[in-house]
A and B are shown apart, each in its own frame.
Chain A
Amino acid sequence: METFNALLHGFSVALTPMNLMWGFIGVTVGTAVGVLPGVGPALTVAMLLPLTVKLDPTGALIMFAGIYYGAMFGGSTTTILLNTPGESASIATALEGNRMAKRGRAGPALATAAIGSFVAGSIATVLLTLLAPLVVELALKFGPAEYFALMVFAFTTVAAVLGSSTARGLASLFLGLLFGLVGIDGQTGAARFAFGVPELLDGIDVVVLAVGLFAVGEALYMAAYTSRLPGTLEKLSGSLMMSRDDWKRSWPAWLRATCIGFPFGTIPAGGAEIPTFLSYSVERKLSKHPEEFGHGAIEGVAGPEAANNASATGVLVPLLTLGIPTSATAAILLSAFQNYGIQPGPLLFQSQADLVWGLIASLYVGNVLLLVLNLPLVGIWVKVLAIPRPMLYGGILVFATLGAYSLHQSWVDLATLYVFGLLGFAMRRFDIPVAPAVIGLILGPLAETQFRRALSISQGDATVFLTQPISASFLAVTAALVIVPWLVRRYGRR
């Protein structure tokens, strides 16, 4: 009941004309930018971040939530029509979605993706509403030792357990942690890794890292390896309407995918990649038409798209209640909060109830806006896809450099951007995951603060992390996650 009242109050914040307008701008811009091939939600949020510093926090964060959701909706359009997934979470959608489009069924594919995203996003937002106060309740009992253990858990799953290689994942994480150390130490004022450069004393901004890795690195990679390849854009022919049979096959997939996607989002499991593939294989197993898989089965679009949105909402649970980002996009959203001097966490629900509940209420509103915006207007977004690639990447880089330059009005940020671009190019080329670096940059300084605080409280006694029960269990689970798969690989293959 208390939650219900809080949410009701949230709606009174989200539905003021100004905030409604920011939400609308957010979903529109998010969709428009997210439709661009090669531009995922992380890059969309990062590019638009420096340009909103003058807005009031509630309006700006409502807009960013809209951008976050909108970019994912837009991305599914690109995936289905162009077969170039903008992010790893869309790969599963591309498997069936693009084949449906090739068979002239682009309309129903887009419809099941959009409606499925709406259904999954809305159910997941209800779950977020119910779950968040419970997690807050628990998190209020956390001290620095518990937070540090939880962050170690997040680092380990994102970098070492997920992904194709532990060595490359951890290398990426340590790189991000190193970037996070640059600047003035928050507790003693000592300058670290700044080499006397004033721009570096402020620390490395996540915008520069994310835009460098995702936009500049991607542009260099695409130019160097694939610029002479013609992309084939599938035509959007026929009706958007789903037949009775399409509906019958879609809705169980949406619901199952929501149940898969949301829990995966809430734990630090590296975002939406695993649940989308899980949902794809579940649908494939349960389908009455398994022969259609690989040739455009509608369940194969409905499931992964719904799972993607449900897990994107799930990611907001640890982000809002604990201040812990579990995906690259969430890390950038966290820095959006930090720009306003707001640190998400259990206290935020008490000190800034207006903001948090307004934000959660705006997620309900955003889902409705996106459904309205996407289905009837899909023709406009398709036109965006027809932009030739030289113009497209030229435009993307004009916006990408604008974001970095506006931080300090300095070419030093642009040079740093290029260095990160080279890094992103190498990481893309040699299959080094990018998310651990971005999460390391944002979460590293927070983890260091909690670590030193915990040790200050215990007067330098390092066993504090193992004698506190909650902290010890987080660390035990972390160790198990690393050791068990290794043991299975080593001894399980007899």
Chain B
Amino acid sequence: MRRSRAEIALSIGVLGLGAGAAWVTARLPGEGGYAGIGPNFIPAVVSGGLLLMGAWLLWEALAGGWRNLAAPEADAEHPFNAAAFGWVSAGLFAHMALIGWAGFVLAGAALFAGVARGFGSPRPARDAALGFALSLAVFLFFVKLLNVNLPAGWLQPLLGGAGI
């Protein structure tokens, strides 16, 4: 019998989310006015739905695996590439950390380089340069032309403020 640890974990995740939502719901106000139901009614329905679906999925996972999966063989053919996943994630985290103080352009360059590395590009310096050029173009277009507010960060002296 096929039994996937990931499916069991995800099912328990849905159950846990439902339980957490129920815990929060129990602390919401319930007075209803004319309708007779308060702001806690629909949250209770949704929590119940999540608990029910979590239980259903868990039962499926334990009794032969989730039904009608589209591509359960993906694992065997292409094993999970943890390094690639890690590089893409690292790019996103670097972007998150940098954007506030180093600015949009430098954060974008780091993001671009990380993602490109994750997709197997062997030349990080070139990728960072490409990312820098792309982010700079995006920055100038949105900040100068469309007046969208984006942080210039360390490049403030070079880029100036909004507007041409």
By the criterion CB–CB under 8 Å, are B84 and A227 in contact?
yes
CB of B120 closer than 8 Å to a CB of A = yes
Instruction: List chain B residues, Cβ under 8 A from A444.
Output: 42
Which of A168, A173, A399, A455 has its CB near the most chain B CB atoms (within 10 A)?
A168
| Size of A's binding interface in residues, CB under 8 A | 66
Q: Are B99 and A185 in contact (CB under 8 A)?
A: no
Task: Check: B62 CB closer than 8 A to any chain A CB.
Answer: no
Q: Decide: A430 and B6 in contact? CB cutoff 8 A.
A: yes
Q: Is the CB of A223 within 8 A of B84?
A: yes
- What residues on B are CB-neighbors of A181 within 8 Å? 42-43, 46
* A54-B147 contact given A219-B115, A393-B119, CB 8 Å threshold: yes
Residues of B within 8 A of A457 (CB): 34
Q: Write out, one digit per residue, whether chain B residues 36-68 have a CB within 8 A of any chain A CB (1) or not (0).
A: 111101110011011001101100100000111
A residues less than 8 Å from B113 (CB atoms): 394
Question: Main SS of the interface on chain B?
Answer: helix
Provide the main secondary structure of the chain A interface: helix
CB < 8 Å neighbour of B111 from A228, A397, A426: A397
In this complex, the member of A168, A171, A401, A431 whose beta carbon has the largest number of chain B beta carbons within 10 angstroms is A171
B164: Cβ under 8 A from any A Cβ: no
Cβ–Cβ contact B36 & A224, under 8 A: no
Q: Does B140 contact A (CB under 8 A)?
A: no
| CB-based contact B29/A406 at 8 Å | no
Does A175 belong to the interface (CB within 8 Å)?
A: yes
Q: Does B106 contact A (CB under 8 A)?
A: no
In the complex, the answer to whether B92 meets A174 with C-beta atoms within 8 Å is no
30 pairs, A vs B, C-beta closer than 8 Å: A51-B148, A54-B147, A167-B56, A167-B57, A168-B57, A171-B14, A174-B46, A175-B14, A192-B39, A220-B85, A222-B119, A224-B80, A225-B78, A228-B81, A390-B115, A390-B119, A390-B120, A393-B118, A394-B111, A394-B115, A394-B134, A395-B112, A398-B112, A401-B111, A409-B151, A418-B96, A430-B66, A431-B69, A456-B35, A460-B34
Interface residues of A (CB under 8 A from B): 51, 54, 164-165, 167-168, 170-171, 173-175, 177-178, 181, 185, 187-188, 190, 192-193, 216, 219-220, 222-229, 388-391, 393-395, 397-399, 401-402, 405-406, 409, 411, 414-415, 417-418, 421, 426, 429-431, 444, 448, 451-453, 455-457, 459-460
Supply 5 further A-B pairs (C-beta < 8 A) apart from A164-B69, A406-B148. A171-B57, A219-B118, A220-B88, A393-B118, A429-B74
